[in-house]
């Protein structure tokens, strides 16, 4: 019988065994790839001088039932932190034996938020009404720059003699940072030309006010979301908690209630132990913009007692800024990893976002168990150094 979890060990032979195990489990042979040619790096990096190899691991299987992600997945992770891939695998095994992780994809929105500043105080109100009246034309202008993005709305935020226009887009399979920039810039050029010619007055604009909090953790993102918004949950049996994590549901719930006030005392946005770890490892492996971890790691975790001894684990992630086209997703190894995950084609960015949220939940669950049983330090002593 083929084993569920990856074979262990640190030798070259052990690495080969894991590759063979992965091929047997998935039918996907993940070959070693040669570095991408420098000519293919335009749009990804400037002043290129070489490559820095990052070790890549596999965790799994992740069993998931989601809006777009369905079935079993084997998760590629690029990390330099010992215990991370092992801990995620433990979370996967625990949830796999408890019927997996459920995910719901809530929405996908990304914005660019230019600010317009007027010398004449009264012109700001006139401008606001003009933008509303010309929404259809602004939508046409913005969408003319992309074959995939759609302008959903333009939210307005006035302040003194200035106003922020938050151009909110659906970005399809792209993460969307460049898409929203190009589209919004074209709309701003149209505004500058048309409004000035019809209403006069002096004003200036900046393409980005940072109101949308691109690559910044903020309360606004926590409440309204940015990128993909995904919620994950898993109902873990008490029997498996005792056997795999060596704890029980009541202790997990009590422990989380005791540590949660510390999040508030420290001013942490959200409440999770290390969602950023899962994000960074998966982002590097799948060609995402790793700097987005800053805004994407504001997830909210909760634990609830169910059926007297079972544990309901929930993770809400309002901001997962990922795509399956463009940027680093076209690098050879990153592309192969996306193919292994089945994250290509229509709705693949939503599928990837669900896989990422589920992976983060599994990692959170495993760490919470290790802290609750006081195995955290010893596990890092054994595997993390």
d(CA 129, CA 168): 18
Distance in angstroms (rounded) separating the CA atoms of residues 324 and 334: 10
Q: Which among 322, 326, 324 has a CA at the least distance from the CA of 342? A: 324
Residues in the chain: 385
3-state helix, strand, coil in the chain (%, to 5): 45, 25, 30
169 token code pair: 């887009």
Question: Which sequence positions are flagged as catalytic?
Answer: 81, 289, 380
- Residue from 118, 271, 100, 268 nearest 201 by CA: 118
For residue 193, give both structure tokens: 């030309």
Which backbone phi and psi does 177 adopt, to 5 degrees?
-60, -50
Token pair listed for 97: 């034996």
How many beta carbons lie within 10 A of that of residue 189, not counting itself? 13
DSSP 174: B
Torsion of CA 13, 17, 19, 23, to 10 degrees: 150
The owner of tokens 């669900």 is 354
Between helix 177-199 and helix 123-133 the angle, nearest 10°, is: 120
Locate 88 and state its tokens: 């995620």
């Amino acid at each position: 019988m083929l084993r569920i979890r990856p074979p262990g060990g640190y030798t070259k032979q052990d690495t080969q065994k894991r590759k063979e195990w992965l091929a047997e489990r998935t039918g996907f042979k993940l070959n070693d790839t040669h570095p991408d040619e420098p000519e293919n790096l335009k749009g990804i990096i400037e002043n290129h001088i070489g490559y820095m190899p990052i070790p890549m691991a596999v965790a799994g299987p992740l069993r998931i039932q989601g809006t777009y992600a369905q079935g079993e997945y084997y998760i590629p992770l690029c990390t330099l932190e010992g215990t991370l891939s092992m801990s995620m695998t433990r979370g996967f095994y625990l949830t796999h034996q408890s019927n997996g992780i459920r995910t719901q994809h809530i929405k996908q929105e990304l914005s660019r938020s230019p600010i317009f500043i007027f010398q004449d105080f009264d012109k700001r109100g006139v401008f606001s009404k003009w933008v509303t009246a010309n929404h259809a034309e602004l939508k046409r202008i913005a969408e003319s720059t992309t074959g995939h993005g759609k302008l959903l709305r333009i939210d307005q935020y006035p302040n003194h003699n200035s106003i922020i226009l938050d151009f909110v887009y659906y970005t399809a399979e792209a993460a969307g940072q460049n898409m929203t920039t190009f589209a919004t810039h074209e709309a701003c050029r149209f505004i500058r030309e048309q409004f000035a010619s019809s209403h006069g007055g002096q004003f200036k604009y900046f393409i980005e006010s940072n109101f949308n909090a691109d690559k910044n953790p903020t309360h606004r993102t926590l409440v309204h979301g940015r990128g993909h918004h995904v919620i994950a949950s898993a109902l873990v049996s008490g029997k498996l908690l005792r056997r795999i994590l060596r704890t029980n549901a009541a202790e997990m719930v009590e422990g989380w209630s005791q540590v949660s006030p510390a999040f508030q005392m420290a001013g942490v946005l959200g409440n999770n132990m290390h969602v950023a770890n899962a994000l960074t490892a998966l982002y590097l492996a799948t060609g995402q913009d790793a700097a987005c971890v800053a805004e994407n790691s504001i997830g909210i975790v909760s634990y609830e007692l169910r059926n007297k001894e079972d544990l309901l684990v929930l993770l809400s992630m309002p901001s997962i800024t990922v795509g399956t086209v463009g940027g680093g997703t076209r690098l050879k190894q990153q592309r192969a990893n996306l193919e292994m995950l089945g994250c290509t084609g229509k709705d693949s960015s939503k599928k990837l976002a669900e896989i990422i949220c589920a992976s983060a939940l599994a990692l959170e669950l495993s760490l919470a168990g290790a802290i609750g049983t006081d195995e955290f330090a010893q596990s890092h002593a054994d595997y993390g150094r």
